[in-house]
Chain A
Amino acid sequence: MSDLERRDFCRILTGCTLLACTGGLAGCARLLDWSAGTDAGRGRVATMAANPPVVEASSTVTPSETVPAPALPDLAVYTGDDPAANVRAAVAALGGMDRFVKRGARVVIKPNVIVGRAPELATTTNPIALAAVVTMAYEAGAAQVTVLDRPTGDPRTAFEGSGIAKAVNDVDGTVKILSDRNFERFDIPKGRVLTSWPLVTDIFEADTFINMPIAKTHSMAGLTMSMKNLMGVMGGTRGTVHQDFHQKIVDLATLVQPHLVILDAYRIMIRNGPTGGSLKDVRTPKTAIAGTNMPSVDAYGATLFGKQASDLKYLVNAGAQGLGVIDLNKLDIAKGTT
């Protein structure tokens, strides 16, 4: 065989190999069809990890067999000039991050990263507070802390424009930009209107799921806090969620129940939510609210806007369905300043 022929042979071989690889890849993907999760039909049945996870005796708390542990508050509300100190104090009052994060745990945090706007505009979760939560999770022994959301527009501009990508990366957290393959259709057995929907699989695989919204207004929900924030784990076309909206939010909350809820109210948006964009719509309660129950946290959050839980239809529905206590008088609330 002459040089020339060998060369041509190699060329043809390379070309065919490339074609075959491409075809193979396409075939495999077709078989899988990740986007199938967005079609209607039967979904996967799943539950969140045990809530709250059992704290092992080897943790930093010294076990005392005889003295019963002091009852932990339902909500912790801390106010002060440092957003990081507020969330630290609030989580500490709930029993510390050790209560929620076991050694070696995989932690998933869902902030609100709707679009890319500067933190001062209160459109997205405060990056300093978020970084503090990531740090606390690592301090409690987390193996991996992932921060994820599904922004409404381009995800990179949202994560970078909001300052969240940098803040999380700086404390070694992992920002995860979602793609189709991260969603799967799940059954929502207790859902009344919403009975199944494509959801981010990570939140079901995580040992600890932390919901960390920012408090803002919303023209349909009234206020968007922790319950409404969970729309960010929904895949598919979310526009249609806005019919029977208040019940669908509650339906989703019957399945997705975070282990820890931290409402960032360092800055809040009192008008033109949820995207805002003007400093005149921002108020600064400089508060962090932590709890383990979404309706309770949101019920407290409503007071920051001069509202009550009863003003928010989805909270009323949640309370009526027994998802959580929305009457603040029945809650044990630890308050403090930092």
Chain B
Amino acid sequence: MPAEKRRWRGIHGLRHAFQWSFFALFIALLTLTVWPLGHVFLGVFLLADPLIAANSLANGVWAWPMLAALAMLLAPLVLGRAFCGYVCPTGTLIEAAAGRSTRRLGAHAREHWRKVPAFVLLGSAGLLLFASGLFLLLDPLALLTRTATVLLYPFLDRMIRLAGDVAYLAPPLRGATDFVTTALTGRLVFAVPRVYGLSVGVLGVFAGILGLNLLEPRLWCKHICPLGALLGLVGRLAPAGRRVNAEACIQCGACEQACPMDAVRDGFLATDTSRCQLCMACADACPVDAISTGLKPRTSLYSPSRRSFVAGGVLALLGGFFAFTGLSRVARNVRLIRPPGARAEKELLALCSRCGQCMKVCPTNVLQPSLSKAGLEGIFTPEMEYRIGACDWACNECGKVCPTSAIQPLELEVKRTTKIGRAYIDRNRCIPWADYKTCIVCQELCPVPDKAIVITEEEVVTPEGVTVRLQRPHVVVDRCIGCGVCEFNCPVAQESAITVRTIAE
């Protein structure tokens, strides 16, 4: 082995160290995203995501952290798509899942897949133009945040619960178990086990993305990931990158085989800088050490023909238009309650990155991914599900963690007077109204200082003809903020007899 070859040997170890450090950081920050947040900002990955930032900017939202996203967007000018190979935690998982597989699609299929990123970008731009953040469902950082929130943390919650239950079998361990449980409650294990709707869907998407590895390792990163496509778009202009010494090259093709990103082109001499992640696997594989990095690399980039560009563009605009005219924008579901601080429905659908960080931080689990109430376009946007939890009087964290300000941060005092809905009593099911029995739970627990539910004492005649004195609840419309404590605690089985419904925006 020639001595010079050694200079790239170390980079894979280094690259993996980078990858897993960023992955660990990502998970650590997300794990710490619990009530109370304190002052450390934990959503730094999402804030520095240029795809999310671009969407926010297009919708007229500006925040200083977006400068980090700008830096990340410009980084490919120097580093190519190094983000994909060194930083992206989703890419790390996909790469790990691919293992040592060397499976490759046929040359013909690869030529077709190569065109996909351009159309992913076109499609995203179409949705963005028509004010729909739906394309962010595929953003790798939002996707991983969402997957961990919906799958990882509920899983950990149950595992810790199970471990505690088993440890409790041994009486000497009970004290320690109680201590650990108390320390972890509200952080990793919850008073009521965490549940999220749509978990099967999230699992399916994530399994599908990992499963694309079966066709070819990192197929998703190469061709479908919209963030990768955006970074690649900037990478096209890269003045530096992989260079091949044409005289030394023996045309063996080992570099092309080794390249995980399909960036080796044109007789192995040129580089697709919109794909190259600077992992230097090619240099490692080269038997004659003809590959190095330098300025003005020979590039080979895919540019859609005018015809396919127009066709793709029209399709994207059509897609965006259908999202724009979605039925959800006409008739709002009366049970669709957005968290306090949420922007108007239209803006929320445009801005929300569907990352689920708000659902991660919510101490009561009331924030749930929307399945159908907000329409197809609103899938995985946050909504309040009051049979699972209620908006806690002491918490305003969802607005603080939102990377797009689709939920705006509210001071606690402001949040406590922000109306997000209004409770209605169903007198056909409410215990004192329908059953002529006593119950005051909704009034008792209403957290509004002057009580948005008042009790009147009445003398009523039951269907059996017995006269009884009863306390009956009434909602005071001007006081109710729609926090859902009443709906959550209502003892009527299954569907609560007091339900929060939407109010006019």
Which A residues fall within an 8 A CB radius of B?
Answer: 22, 25-26, 28-29, 32, 34, 115-117, 152-158, 160-161, 174-177, 179, 181-182, 218-220, 237, 239-240, 242-245, 272, 274-278, 281
Contacts and interface: CB of A to CB of B under 8 A. Distances in A.
5 contacts: A152-B445, A153-B390, A154-B395, A156-B187, A275-B447
Given A29-B162, A116-B393, A242-B439, A219 B491 contact: no
B471 interface: yes
Given A219-B471, A243-B437, A245-B438, 4 more contacts: A152-B489, A154-B35, A177-B182, A220-B438
Given A29-B165, A177-B191, A181-B164, A157 B394 contact: yes
A203 to B, nearest CB: 14
Given A155-B186, A155-B191, A239-B491, A272 B439 contact: no
Given A154-B392, A157-B363, A272-B451, A239 B439 contact: yes
A153 B392 contact: yes
Contacts, number: 129
Given A161-B394, A220-B438, A243-B439, A275 B444 contact: yes
Nearest to B165: A29
Interface of B: 35-36, 159, 161-166, 168-169, 178-179, 181-182, 185-187, 189, 191, 363-364, 389-390, 392-395, 431, 437-441, 443-451, 455, 471, 485, 488-491
Contacts of B159: 22, 25
Nearest to B453: A219
Contacts of B448: 277
B393 A272 contact: no
Given A154-B186, A272-B449, A275-B447, A26 B441 contact: no
A28 B440 contact: no
A242 B440 contact: yes
A176 B446 CA distance: 25
Given A154-B186, A156-B363, A243-B439, A179 B164 contact: yes
Contacts of A240: 491
A245 B439 CA distance: 9
Contacts of A281: 449
A179 B161 contact: yes
B441 A239 contact: yes
Contacts of B446: 275
B493 to A, nearest CB: 9
Contact of A272 (B186, B394, B450): B450
A240 B441 CA distance: 9
Contact of A181 (B165, B389, B485): B165
Contacts of A218: 444
Given A154-B392, A156-B363, A174 B179 contact: yes
